[in-house]
Chains A and B, each alone.
Chain A
Amino acid sequence: MSEPLLRANRLAHYFDVSPPWLNRVLEGKPRISLKAVDDVSFTIDKGRTFALVGESGCGKSTVARLVVRLYRPTRGTIEFEGRDIASLKARRDLLPYRRRVQMIFQDPYASLNPRWRVADIIAEPIRAFGLLGAGRTVADTVAELLTQVGLSPDDGARYPHEFSGGQRQRISIARALASKPDFLVCDEPTSALDVSVQAQILNLMKDLQRALGLTYLFISHDLAVVHHMADQVGVMYLGRLCEVASAEAIFTRARHPYTRLLLDTLPDLTMSGKERVPVAGEVPSPINPPPGCGFHPRCPFANARCRGERPELMQVDDATVACHGVEEGRLPQGISFPALADVQGAAG
């Protein structure tokens, strides 16, 4: 059993979306906070991949930014090798952590400086952290990194615009690897890429994980990609985790109705003739989330308790699930959403 590298405990991040001060004073408008992430706890083991999935606005990118400390959490702790880094304030205190945790962003067009040559982009972390080994030049190290991600050492002399999306994402990965990190936070790393290129990048990330013993926090909205990459999966809805389990458990016996919904709305490539039954409703606004379980307005199994009382994550067999229905054992087992839709039809 491998030891946990990162442990997030009751992590929360609120954004202040209040009207300007003057409006609050003159019009008596209240302060409003958006709970982007609320009470999120998870553990990532060394050398493994933990994936966060969810629809837009569910807070998964905010978690990524909290973990790399681009944001300071409103509440909660982030333990990295047992040491809390959420409370660190000074830039200097964070520096060792910053070197060991790097991020790969979604859009390789926006995350590389267009005015810098690729070699300079990749060399920046080496210079910033003073990582050059004795008797080595920056150029050697950069050439090595470029080769490692499947580019040619000559590519260092070129500018980002000369590369395709997939190649740019390789450059982002080389830059992330330049500081010799242990932990990579990947925020939708392949969402901007075409599928054939996506396969290249995902394969590269798996190779690097194996070769360098990297740990990944992998954020994606694409369940098929998560299925391919992850060891552990956390499903988020409206800023909260609703189910955390091994990838195998999520994809074979999803428990939370929202996880089942996500699985059932995936387009069916195997053409089994199964029609996707779209589930009505949309994700509510996180500024004004529904009381009780955030998913209850779309859930066919919601009852009075779901509408009033917020479910906490609790252990159910090999998963942790936040659902009153699962806890009470009143959800039908192992059925998918087409059947849920029948329930909905019968109830309505």
Chain B
Amino acid sequence: MAAPLLQVRDLHVEFPTRRGTLVAVDGVSLHIDPGEILGVVGESGAGKSMTGAAIIGLLEAPGRIAGGEIILDGRRIDDLPYEEKRRLRGKMIGAIFQDPLTSLNPLYTVERQLVETIRTHLDVTPAEARERALSLLKEVGIPAAEERIGHYPHQFSGGMRQRVVIALALCANPRLIIADEPTTALDVSIQAQIMALLKRLCREHRTAVMLVTHDMGVIAETADRVAVMYAGRLVEVGPVRDVVKRPLHPYTAGLMNSIPVLGRKVEYLSQIDGAMPRLHQIPEGCAYHPRCPQAMDLCRARRPEMMVKGPSSVACWLHQEEAAVV
């Protein structure tokens, strides 16, 4: 088996505040193979974006990595000095964010932004950079690219803007792209276009993707594997088919059941009562136990570790018997 492209081990992200230290990411371990699409799913505040931001080195102060390590392509990157990290971003790891309007500079033309990024990471002449920018825009499906390259971001529609952002992320042929809610701001028909594009480009370039989203539908049709997060912790990781069809963790099961599905008309949606705990009120033991219909005494007392079960792993005491603790 090939070595994973990205290996995250026991990652902790903390925010020191006046009310004490908030643990936004609590002991997350995961890996992404070359060319693989890993979906990271969870509700707002689950720590999925924080995990992505920690990997790319864009945690906003006072947030900081408090423990664990991040290894990209055999090299540890979480403890690199700022300047080296900066060179890594774009070159090795690309980023696509939710709102394409805020991730593009409104004062520069698309050409200038693309050329600047290309020349920062690749040793090319301005003419070559422009050539590459143009071919990238064509690749992401922008019609009349020769003309559009001179336009400003506001002259593009939302879907087209997100295509420009994808072109920008691909500038230096990164090995990994962190896509944080790339289609949340877009309409469904445009969402389908963008996801198909992202999937095709990553297959062609053999770029791995960490797809952070709250939308299980997007994950189900795009990702190879899924990691489910809850209250800063990983609760389940597995092949997308297994997680969607046969979820192991009660939270994943509850999440899947609460999504209205076409063709499954029910009078009431099954709901998970309560809300995800705030970060300064995470309960003892398993963070999900106050909302879990199957909670036992053990769940209230001790936090479950990830246990391997079949092709997946799950952090839930219900699976303790059959599973081997990792």
- Give me the interface of A with B, judged by CB distance under 8 Å: 55-56, 164-167, 194-200, 202-203, 206, 221-225, 227-228, 251, 261-263, 265-271, 275-280, 282-283
**How long is the Cα–Cα vector from A277 to B215 in the complex, in angstroms?**
18
**How long is the Cα–Cα vector from A283 to B188 in the complex, in angstroms?**
12
A267 and B218 contact, Cβ closer than 8 Å, known pairs A196-B43, A196-B255, A203-B269: yes
For chain B residues 242-259, which have a beta carbon within 8 Å of chain A? 244-245, 254-256, 258-259
Chain A residues whose C-beta falls within 8 Å of the C-beta of B190 in the assembled complex = 55, 282
Pick from B126-134, B271-279, B292-300 the stretch touching chain A: B271-279
Q: Is B189 an interface residue (CB 8 A)?
A: yes
Identity of the chain B residue whose Cβ is nearest the Cβ of A298 in the assembled complex: B189
Task: Tell which of B187, B216, B276 touches A269, judged by Cβ atoms closer than 8 Å.
Answer: B216
Interface residue tally for chain B (C-beta within 8 Å) = 45
Task: Tell which of B189, B259, B270 touches A279, judged by Cβ atoms closer than 8 Å.
Answer: B189
**How long is the Cα–Cα vector from A164 to B43 in the complex, in angstroms?**
12
Identity of the chain B residue whose Cβ is nearest the Cβ of A285 in the assembled complex: B157
Please tell me if the beta carbons of A269 and B192 are within 8 angstroms of each other in the complex. no
| Given pairs A195-B43, A262-B188, A269-B259, 12 additional interface contacts (CB within 8 A) | A55-B187, A221-B188, A224-B260, A227-B262, A228-B260, A262-B189, A265-B191, A268-B221, A271-B240, A279-B193, A282-B160, A282-B190
**How long is the Cα–Cα vector from A167 to B274 in the complex, in angstroms?**
10
A276 and B192 contact, Cβ closer than 8 Å, known pairs A195-B214, A196-B43: yes
Please tell me if the beta carbons of A278 and B262 are within 8 angstroms of each other in the complex. no
Please tell me if the beta carbons of B196 and A266 are within 8 angstroms of each other in the complex. no
Task: Tell which of B188, B261, B265 touches A55, judged by Cβ atoms closer than 8 Å.
Answer: B188
Q: Is B217 an interface residue (CB 8 A)?
A: yes
Q: What are the 4 A-B residue pairs with the smallest beta carbon separation, nearest first?
A: A267-B217, A199-B258, A194-B43, A55-B187
Task: Tell which of B43, B217, B269, B271 touches A266, judged by Cβ atoms closer than 8 Å.
Answer: B217
Chain B residues whose C-beta falls within 8 Å of the C-beta of A197 in the assembled complex = 43, 275
Please tell me if the beta carbons of B220 and A268 are within 8 angstroms of each other in the complex. yes
A269 and B217 contact, Cβ closer than 8 Å, known pairs A194-B44, A276-B192: yes
**How long is the Cα–Cα vector from A165 to B43 in the complex, in angstroms?**
12
Q: Is B82 an interface residue (CB 8 A)?
A: no
Q: List 11 A-B contacts (CB under 8 A).
A: A55-B190, A56-B187, A195-B214, A197-B275, A198-B258, A206-B267, A224-B262, A261-B189, A265-B189, A278-B196, A282-B159
State the Cβ distance, A272 to closest chain B Cβ, in Å: 10
State the Cβ distance, B32 to closest chain A Cβ, in Å: 21
Chain A residues whose C-beta falls within 8 Å of the C-beta of B192 in the assembled complex = 265, 267, 276-279
Q: Is B280 an interface residue (CB 8 A)?
A: no
Chain A residues whose C-beta falls within 8 Å of the C-beta of B203 in the assembled complex = none
**How long is the Cα–Cα vector from A200 to B257 in the complex, in angstroms?**
12
Q: Is B76 an interface residue (CB 8 A)?
A: no
Please tell me if the beta carbons of A196 and B218 are within 8 angstroms of each other in the complex. no
Please tell me if the beta carbons of B44 and A202 are within 8 angstroms of each other in the complex. no
Q: Could you mark each residue 24-59 of chain B with 1 if its beta carbon is under 8 Å from any beta carbon of chain A, else 0?
A: 000000000000000000011000000000000000
Chain B residues whose C-beta falls within 8 Å of the C-beta of A266 in the assembled complex = 188, 217, 262
Chain A residues whose C-beta falls within 8 Å of the C-beta of B266 in the assembled complex = 228
Please tell me if the beta carbons of A271 and B244 are within 8 angstroms of each other in the complex. yes
**How long is the Cα–Cα vector from A275 to B240 in the complex, in angstroms?**
15
Please tell me if the beta carbons of A283 and B261 are within 8 angstroms of each other in the complex. no
Q: Could you mark each residue 100-140 of chain B with 1 if its beta carbon is under 8 Å from any beta carbon of chain A, else 0?
A: 00000000000000000000000000000000000000000
Chain A residues whose C-beta falls within 8 Å of the C-beta of B188 in the assembled complex = 55, 221, 223, 262, 265-266
A276 and B260 contact, Cβ closer than 8 Å, known pairs A196-B254, A269-B216: no
Please tell me if the beta carbons of A195 and B216 are within 8 angstroms of each other in the complex. yes
Chain A residues whose C-beta falls within 8 Å of the C-beta of B240 in the assembled complex = 271
Q: Is B302 an interface residue (CB 8 A)?
A: no
**How long is the Cα–Cα vector from A256 to B138 in the complex, in angstroms?**
32
Chain B residues whose C-beta falls within 8 Å of the C-beta of A278 in the assembled complex = 189, 192-193, 195-196
Please tell me if the beta carbons of B271 and A271 are within 8 angstroms of each other in the complex. no
Task: Tell which of B191, B254, B262, B267 touches A263, judged by Cβ atoms closer than 8 Å.
Answer: B262
State the Cβ distance, A223 to closest chain B Cβ, in Å: 7
**How long is the Cα–Cα vector from A261 to B263 in the complex, in angstroms?**
16
Task: Tell which of A166, A196, A251, A279 touches B262, judged by Cβ atoms closer than 8 Å.
Answer: A251
State the Cβ distance, A110 to closest chain B Cβ, in Å: 16
Please tell me if the beta carbons of A276 and B196 are within 8 angstroms of each other in the complex. yes
Please tell me if the beta carbons of A224 and B273 are within 8 angstroms of each other in the complex. no
**How long is the Cα–Cα vector from A164 to B278 in the complex, in angstroms?**
9
A227 and B265 contact, Cβ closer than 8 Å, known pairs A200-B273, A267-B217, A271-B220: yes
Identity of the chain B residue whose Cβ is nearest the Cβ of A251 in the assembled complex: B262
Residue of B189, B240, B262, B272 contacting most chain A CB atoms (<10 Å):
B189
Please tell me if the beta carbons of A164 and B275 are within 8 angstroms of each other in the complex. yes
Task: Tell which of A202, A227, A276 touches B221, judged by Cβ atoms closer than 8 Å.
Answer: A276
**How long is the Cα–Cα vector from A279 to B188 in the complex, in angstroms?**
10
State the Cβ distance, A338 to closest chain B Cβ, in Å: 12
**How long is the Cα–Cα vector from A55 to B187 in the complex, in angstroms?**
6
Residue of A56, A195, A280 contacting most chain B CB atoms (<10 Å):
A195
Task: Tell which of A228, A279, A282 touches B157, judged by Cβ atoms closer than 8 Å.
Answer: A282
Identity of the chain B residue whose Cβ is nearest the Cβ of A200 in the assembled complex: B271
State the Cβ distance, A49 to closest chain B Cβ, in Å: 13
**How long is the Cα–Cα vector from A261 to B189 in the complex, in angstroms?**
8
State the Cβ distance, A299 to closest chain B Cβ, in Å: 13
Please tell me if the beta carbons of B260 and A227 are within 8 angstroms of each other in the complex. yes
Residue of B190, B214, B262, B268 contacting most chain A CB atoms (<10 Å):
B262
Chain B residues whose C-beta falls within 8 Å of the C-beta of A279 in the assembled complex = 189, 192-193
**How long is the Cα–Cα vector from A176 to B269 in the complex, in angstroms?**
23
Please tell me if the beta carbons of A269 and B271 are within 8 angstroms of each other in the complex. no
Please tell me if the beta carbons of A206 and B262 are within 8 angstroms of each other in the complex. no
**How long is the Cα–Cα vector from A276 to B197 in the complex, in angstroms?**
12
For chain B residues 150-184, which have a beta carbon within 8 Å of chain A? 157, 159-160
**How long is the Cα–Cα vector from A200 to B268 in the complex, in angstroms?**
9
Residue of A203, A269, A277 contacting most chain B CB atoms (<10 Å):
A269
